[in-house]
A and B are shown apart, each in its own frame.
Chain A
Amino acid sequence: MSGNFWQSSHHQQWLLDKQDLIRERQHDLSILAEDEYQKIFIFFASVIQTLGEQLKLRQQVIATATVYFKRFYARNSLKTIDPLLLAPTCIFLASKVEEFGVISNSRLITTCQNVIKNKFSYAYTQEFPYRTNHILECEFYLLENLDCCLIVYQPYRPLLQLVQDLGHEEQLLTLAWRIVNDSLRTDVCLLYPPYQIAIGCLQIACVILQKDHKSWFAELNVDIEKIQEIARYIINLFELWKTYDEKKEIQGLLGKMPKPKAAPQR
């Protein structure tokens, strides 16, 4: 499905309003500061990325999984479902939708166990606690909350076209591509259409590489203001990264995060 973005569920249902987003997060933001909330999502985006890489998934599949994850929590508090369970569930669902194939249950669980133990021990001291039945149950909740909107448009394809139009520059593409990956650690995928995100990322890449393509950008006929907003989100992320040491802070943040509660005991 890469035909018409304008008629897609992505465009019609899942380009959210900034104010809505703030409203939905009210509960979580009464417990976490805004930057703490973002740091938690940066962390889980990395978890999804690492899981995906271990499972040898394409970046497109990883990005789709990350968007599912963000869409779910755009409508639900972090306390509804443990993000450590939702993250692999998103990977599991995205790999089927993007036709990577069904990841075998045991392989998924083993990969989760290994990744948590070997790459994220600074965040989790205990073993990955979930099993296949948890993922499968969670998957139904995920699908419901996504309202069955599974096709996600990503900035990668428009980015390729833009760079080609610019006269293919390998270095520029590589950097812009990485910035698109980074953009998954911000809210832009919930707020802006993918081709705008692609332009925003490309613009940042041009600035970093000191390439002057101003006249080319000017001819693009896009809403410059939106592009600036996107760039702002990403630059803020870069600023945050300068002073943020995830290894030191994340355990505390995960501890502070609102968590699912069990049935009330009588």
Chain B
Amino acid sequence: MSTAYMMDYEFKMKTQNERVKVEDLFDYEGCKVGRGTYGHVYKGRRKDGSDSKDYALKQIEGTGLSMSACREIALLRELKHPNVINLIRVFLSHNDRKVWLLFDFAEHDLWHIIKFHRAAKANKKPVLVPKGMVKSLLYQILDGIHYLHSNWVLHRDLKPANILVMGEGPERGRVKIADMGFARLFNAPLKPLADLDPVVVTFWYRAPELLLGARHYTKAIDIWAIGCIFAELLTSEPIFHCRQEDIKTSNPYHHDQLDRIFNVMGFPHEKDWEDIKKMPEHPTLLKDFKKNNYVNCSLVKYMDRHKIKPDSKAFHLLQKLLLMDPNKRITSEQAMQDPYFQEEPLPTQDVFAGCPIPYPKREFLTDDDQEEKSDNKRQTQQQQQTQNNQQSQQQNQQNNQNNQQSNQDNHNTAKRVRLSAPQGHPSQVNQQQIPISQQQQEFHHQQMMYNNGQQQQQNFQQRF
């Protein structure tokens, strides 16, 4: 049988003609703003000018539908929450077999925000932000994660870079949890997770039970990561910062990362975490670590050194998020009820609470980084840089802060330059709020719009 008969010619032509190409609809050339392990992210504008909003276009790494691309599409297609990034549309480019995802553009993310604060701290120039900003950020992160968790979706890769914050516009200052590429349904594990993708959460945000070989991901693992992010927001330092050398290892056990956690938290007492004995790597732990090395370590002391008082509500909540025993760790739902959020200043929907946003907008990445396309290269570079940092850190403990600063700078190796906006990107000032009616009209222009049913119904009612 010849290939011609697998698919009807007329059908093929008809769908080909109807198919809208991403490059026909959007201007994004030269506007790369992000590069992750799983894709390139561009800032785009509609070519037909039907709206002047910014969009994020994520081109998934590689060709075709990898499992993580499938999961990202499958999950995002179903999820709908103000604090979870909204997948507007999927483009399949048949010629080069590339997959593109269209999202709302988020001007900021916690990685850049924290980086900005560190730089300011190092230069002794304080940043003016609303008093409740960290609280609002945390509250919305919890809200989004609670939604995911109650839909039996685990994020598994929570870290500052994956927490986006909307810039000027109708959703100003709203948290959007992104990067669900690894998100996984966990109500019916088909395979132990460790077999599927050996390295998942960046080690800094990895819960101790994962480092001790836990076979399954849980909600509690996401909660630990949120605790880490909360601490980092409070202090501008990654709380469990650690050099990352064997990033590629499939062995979950990571001595240095555990050492770092114990250095901050103290070594877990058996009464605090009874089931630690059941962890696969518990024997290794006993062999490698001496309790006595950590007798003077505690979260109270660590946070106190960073000027967070142990009797503050923030500290109390942090302590509940960062409990070593996953069974005792607070849930997102409980955390949202915490007194911290009932105390003034109350959390706000706009995390910037109407104040000017002090953070720079996303810069376009140059094409230099095209050469280092391969992830391995990028990771190795990253590791080397982290190692360098670590060395200098050891050389000069007092300069610790600055080193960590440069370490964070190197997290994304691509060079950053501010470019003038290309045509179709009228300068970025033009960010006024778009009236709702215009937004709704907007929906009509899109073919594969993913709305909730109500919106869909509305569209139909208006259309027919």
Contact = CB atoms under 8 A, between A and B. Distances in A.
Interface of A: 1-4, 7-9, 11-12, 58, 60, 76, 79-82, 85, 93, 96-102, 126, 129-130, 134, 136-141, 143-144, 147-151, 259-264
A93 B70 CA distance: 8
B94 A140 contact: yes
A264 B9 CA distance: 8
B249 interface: no
Contact of B190 (A100, A102, A144): A100
A260 B67 contact: no
7 contacts: A1-B79, A2-B151, A81-B7, A138-B7, A143-B65, A148-B90, A150-B74
B453 A260 contact: no
Given A1-B78, A9-B78, A12-B453, A148 B73 contact: yes
Contact of B15 (A8, A85, A141, A150): A141
B429 interface: no
B185 A81 contact: no
Given A9-B78, A58-B190, A148 B448 contact: yes
Given A7-B453, A12-B452, A143 B11 contact: no
Given A1-B185, A138-B7, A141-B15, A151 B1 contact: no
Interface of B: 1-11, 15, 19, 64-67, 70-71, 73-75, 77-80, 90, 92, 94, 97, 150-153, 184-185, 187-188, 190-191, 196, 448, 450, 452-453, 456
Contacts, number: 134
3 tightest Cβ-Cβ pairs between the two chains A and B:
A3-B151, A150-B74, A260-B8
A263 B2 CA distance: 12
A147 B92 CA distance: 11
Given A97-B70, A99-B196, A139-B65, A80 B78 contact: no
A130 B6 contact: yes
A199 B77 CA distance: 28
B187 A2 contact: yes
B8 A79 contact: yes
Q: Is the interface of B mostly helix, strand, loop or mixed?
A: mixed
Q: Chain A binding site: helix, strand, loop or mixed by DSSP?
A: loop
A99 B185 CA distance: 8
B3 A150 contact: no
B429 to A, nearest CB: 35
A61 B453 CA distance: 26
A126 B92 CA distance: 33
A147 B80 CA distance: 17
A1 B151 contact: yes
Contacts of B67: 96, 99, 101-102
Contact of B77 (A79, A96, A151): A151
Contacts of B64: 136, 139
Contacts of A3: 150-153
Contacts of B450: 9, 148
A143 B100 CA distance: 13
A8 B78 contact: yes
Contacts of A8: 78
A149 B77 contact: yes
Given A4-B151, A99-B191, A129-B1, A150 B70 contact: yes
A91 to B, nearest CB: 13
B152 A2 contact: yes
A260 B7 contact: yes
Contacts of A2: 151-152, 185, 187-188
Contact of A263 (B9, B65, B79, B187): B9
A18 B196 CA distance: 40
A261 B9 contact: yes
B140 to A, nearest CB: 19
B5 A12 contact: no
Contacts of A76: 11
A99 B71 contact: yes
A81 B11 contact: yes
Given A76-B11, A81-B11, A260-B6, A9 B196 contact: no
A101 B8 contact: no
A132 to B, nearest CB: 10
A129 B7 CA distance: 13
A74 B5 CA distance: 20
B71 A97 contact: yes
Nearest to A139: B65
Contacts of A79: 8, 11
B72 to A, nearest CB: 10
Given A80-B11, A143-B92, A148-B448, A259 B73 contact: no
B4 A263 contact: yes
B78 A102 contact: no
Nearest to B19: A144
Nearest to B151: A3
Contacts of A7: 78, 80, 452-453
A262 B196 contact: no
Given A8-B78, A12-B452, A148-B73, A134 B6 contact: yes
A99 B4 CA distance: 32
Contact of A93 (B65, B151, B184): B65
Given A1-B151, A150-B73, A85 B11 contact: no
A93 B92 CA distance: 15
Nearest to A147: B448
Contacts of B453: 7, 11-12
Nearest to A144: B92
Contacts of B65: 93, 96, 139-140, 143
Given A8-B78, A144-B92, A150-B70, A99 B184 contact: yes
A260 B4 CA distance: 8
Given A1-B152, A260-B7, 6 more contacts: A7-B452, A80-B8, A81-B6, A97-B70, A130-B6, A260-B5
A187 B277 CA distance: 52
Nearest to A133: B3
Nearest to B188: A60
B407 to A, nearest CB: 34
A140 B92 contact: yes
